[in-house]
């Protein structure tokens, strides 16, 4: 099937180059490929690394050809595998995960619209590396700028967007570092919005763990996946082609993103995300010696996660019934589970899951929202694997003296409160 698809693409490529009088579309190859790998629309593909028939490994058997890596489940943040995940290294264009996050957050907050026009400055037009060759003064929508950043890692578009949002790249970088601190990225320092080496030769620094944290924040926004899952597209009314630098988007089942990177100092880097059956994982690999190394490592990590883990919904077998409130302005308060309602578990343990609820029968007013009323404990056989607090959903005020007197009189004359 894969060979048939490839043959079709080759035919399409050949026929598209025949002179028809239509505008010509240019597709960029962003990294120099090995000579022995075939080209398909600017992408260099070694099909063997995407062979889904390979058996999944046990965690102790994982041996990936990169120095820094981490595997994290999105919903719970559970780390399933790590390799020197806290060692600082240059991330190259994986830096743009933070650039993309700040753009998306501005859109979600309503401060930025995908149809807004962005004007390219002299500075933005002079960026090297991967780019869409923006000209000074050229205008492009936020949609197309973001598309170019996400799909083709365009440095000029990254700087244009940074300047559009914050007035200067320096101000944008300050916000990048502030957001990194907010996300708990303890070992990260951004110098620019692109991941390119600075004029003095220094590069942005981060860790595999920190990249996973910002990737997790980004993929919580479905908007980014409308762009990061695109294999090929165009800007400038179809005249300039974009091909995704992340080959997993085309070949790996469930791939949702996210960002590649390469410099001589950083090596070949990748923040890869994929989702199957409602479970999404993040695989970060940094410092690969070859492009193939990073894709093979990320695929191995993601396949391990999908083969061995699943999310289990945690909820009461029976509905959590309202709890009586004594001397309360209302008679009952509704208990709810606090925090995550899904647990990441090994697939072979999911069938053994059981749970026990311990909860008070009566609570005295006043009650505050979030007040602990009990615990839901989850077991794998006889082993406790999670304890989730059951809390009050709302505040319940205590009856005033006048309200108590009124209740007493009602009881006195009617025989009930």
417 residues of the chain, pLDDT tens digit each: 444 444 344 334 333 333 333 333 333 333 333 333 333 333 333 334 344 444 445 666 789 999 999 999 999 999 999 999 999 999 999 999 999 999 999 999 999 999 999 999 999 999 989 999 999 999 999 999 999 999 999 999 999 999 999 999 999 999 999 999 999 999 999 999 999 999 899 999 999 999 999 999 999 999 999 999 999 999 999 999 999 999 999 999 999 999 999 999 999 999 999 999 999 999 999 999 999 999 999 999 999 999 999 998 877 656 789 999 998 889 999 999 887 678 898 888 877 888 889 999 999 999 999 999 999 898 888 889 888 899 999 999 988 877 767 766 776 677 555
Q: Does residue 13 lie in a domain region?
A: no
pLDDT of residue 177: 98
Catalytic annotation on 291?
no
Which is the catalytic residue, given 74, 96, 259, 299?
96
The structure tokens 């690999």 sit at 285
Q: Does residue 198 lie in a domain region?
A: yes
- Taking the C-alpha atoms of residue 20 and residue 386, their distance in angstroms, rounded to an integer, is 64
Q: Which two tokens stand for residue 226?
A: 């409308």
pLDDT of residue 108: 98
Domain span holding position 84: 23-309
Compute the C-alpha angle 103/108/111, nearest 5°: 70
Catalytic annotation on 153?
yes
Indicate if 258 and 329 belong to the same structural domain. Answer: no
pLDDT of residue 168: 98
Give the max Cα distance, the chain. 97
CB 311 within 8 A of CB 336: no
Indicate if 222 and 329 belong to the same structural domain. Answer: no
CATH classification at residue 28: 3.40.710.10
Q: Does residue 380 lie in a domain region?
A: yes
- 181 φ/ψ sector (left φ>0, alpha ψ -120 to 50, else beta): alpha
pLDDT of residue 385: 85
Which is the catalytic residue, given 121, 130, 152, 153?
153
CATH classification at residue 362: 2.60.410.10
In the chain, the N- to C-terminal Cα span, in Å, equals 74
Indicate if 293 and 334 belong to the same structural domain. Answer: no
Which is the catalytic residue, given 74, 83, 93, 243?
93
Taking alpha carbons only, the member of 289, 292, 352, 364 closest to residue 325 is 364
Q: Does residue 38 lie in a domain region?
A: yes
Q: Does residue 7 lie in a domain region?
A: no
Angle between helices 169-182 and 155-166 (to 10 degrees): 90
pLDDT of residue 1: 46
Q: Domain ends where: 259, 285, 309?
A: 309
DSSP per-residue letters across 81-105: EEESTTS-B--GGGGHHHHHHHHHH
Indicate if 196 and 289 belong to the same structural domain. Answer: yes
Domain count, the chain: 2
Catalytic annotation on 158?
no
Query: Which runs of consecutive H residues, i.e. helices, occur in 95-221?
Result: 96-108, 122-125, 142-152, 155-166, 169-182, 208-219
Indicate if 225 and 372 belong to the same structural domain. Answer: no
pLDDT of residue 57: 57
Please compute Rg for the chain using Cα positions. Answer: 27
Q: Does residue 142 lie in a domain region?
A: yes
pLDDT of residue 407: 67
Indicate if 131 and 163 belong to the same structural domain. Answer: yes
Q: Domain ends where: 258, 281, 309?
A: 309
| 128 Cα distance to chain centroid | 27
């Amino acid at each position: 099937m894969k060979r048939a698809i490839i043959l079709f693409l080759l035919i399409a490529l050949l026929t598209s180059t025949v002179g028809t009088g239509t505008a010509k579309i240019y597709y960029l190859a962003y990294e120099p490929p090995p000579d022995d790998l075939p080209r398909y629309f600017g992408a260099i593909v070694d099909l063997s690394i995407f062979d889904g028939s390979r058996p999944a490994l046990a965690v102790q058997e994982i041996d990936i050809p990169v120095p820094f890596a981490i595997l994290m489940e999105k919903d719970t943040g559970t780390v399933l595998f790590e390799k020197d995940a806290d060692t600082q290294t240059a991330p190259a264009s994986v830096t743009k995960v933070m650039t993309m996050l700040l753009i998306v957050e501005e859109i979600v907050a309503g401060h930025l619209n995908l149809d807004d026009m962005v004007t390219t400055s002299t500075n933005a037009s002079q960026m090297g590396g991967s780019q869409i060759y923006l000209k000074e003064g050229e205008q492009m929508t936020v949609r197309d700028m973001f598309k170019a950043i996400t799909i083709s890692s365009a440095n000029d578009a990254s700087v244009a967007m940074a300047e559009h949002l914050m007035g200067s790249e320096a101000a944008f970088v300050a916000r990048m570092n502030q957001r990194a601190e907010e996300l708990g990225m303890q070992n990260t320092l951004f110098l620019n919005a692109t991941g390119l080496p600075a004029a003095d030769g220094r590069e942005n620094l981060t860790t595999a763990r920190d990249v996973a944290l910002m990737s997790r924040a980004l993929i919580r926004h479905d908007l980014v996946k409308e762009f990061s899952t695109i294999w090929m597209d165009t800007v400038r009314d179809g005249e300039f082609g974009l091909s995704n630098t992340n080959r997993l988007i085309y070949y790996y089942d469930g791939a949702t993103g996210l960002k590649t990177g390469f410099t001589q100092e950083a090596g070949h880097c990748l923040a890869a995300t994929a989702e199957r059956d409602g479970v999404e994982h993040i695989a970060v690999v940094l410092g690969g010696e070859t492009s193939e190394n990073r894709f093979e490592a990320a695929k191995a990590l993601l396949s391990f996660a999908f083969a061995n883990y699943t999310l289990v919904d945690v909820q009461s077998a029976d509905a959590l019934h309202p709890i009586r409130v004594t001397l309360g302005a209302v008679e009952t308060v509704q208990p709810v589970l606090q925090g995550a309602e899904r647990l990441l578990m090994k697939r072979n343990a999911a069938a053994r899951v059981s749970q026990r609820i311990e909860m008070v029968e009566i609570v005295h007013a006043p009650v505050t929202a979030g007040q602990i009323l009990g615990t839901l404990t989850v077991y794998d056989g006889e082993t406790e694997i999670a304890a989730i607090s059951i809390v009050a959903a709302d505040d319940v005020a205590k009856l005033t003296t006048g309200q108590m007197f009124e209740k007493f009189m009602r009881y006195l004359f009617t025989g009930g409160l």
